[in-house]
Amino acid sequence: MSSFGIIMTPIISVMICDNFLIRKQQYSVSQAFIVKGEYYYTKGVNWRAIFAWVVGMAPGLPGMAWQVNNDYFNNRGIVNFYYADSFTSFLISFFTYWGLCLIFPVKIKIKHDDKDYYGAFTDEEARKKGMVPYSELSAEEIQKVFDKVNNETTDTDETVIENEENYDKANLDEEIQEVSKIESKQEEKV
């Protein structure tokens, strides 16, 4: 395909595997807006996806280097692999991610929202998914969800700022103590 395919194909592959095999098309839209919600993974990183992406991308990198400068090497195998990389990297990333999720399962606490808060489905689709349709929700219910999402985001942001301020104060206190020690040593020498 191209250099773009080397980077993007493994990402698309991981997304397809996660959607169809791991989560079975069950996503909680409201959890996507909560900072440490369902999709936070490990410290905000889905390491399974990152690993599968790198493993799927790495075999195509020599071909990408050859495409930039044909004088690097004359190995037809690498070049042929580069031309077929979209298919091979898709399969490599797909099965790597699937295998990692089987060995280290993703903890799915909330399969999907119980109500269609965002109006993403028709009334019929929402009922098929076991959700209360958007048209049947009151304005208060919808506002409550948005407030909850905003409060959790705001609380987290304020906590981060507060922690940074406490860290800065602690560092400042340590620096003041060090300066005092240095000054007292200099006074003793004099």
Candidates 43, 56, 72; CA nearest to 17 is 56
| DSSP codes of every residue in 47-74 | HHHHHHHHHHHGGGHHHHHHHH-TTS--
Spans in the chain with pLDDT lower than 70: 1, 152-175, 179, 190
Q: pLDDT (tens digit, 9 = 90+) per residue, 19-65?
A: 999 999 888 888 888 888 888 888 899 999 999 999 999 999 988 88
Q: Is the whole model's pTM more than 0.75, yes or no?
A: no
The alpha carbon dihedral of 175, 179, 182, 188 has a sign of negative
The residue ranges of every structural domain in the chain are: 3-106, 111-137, 141-190
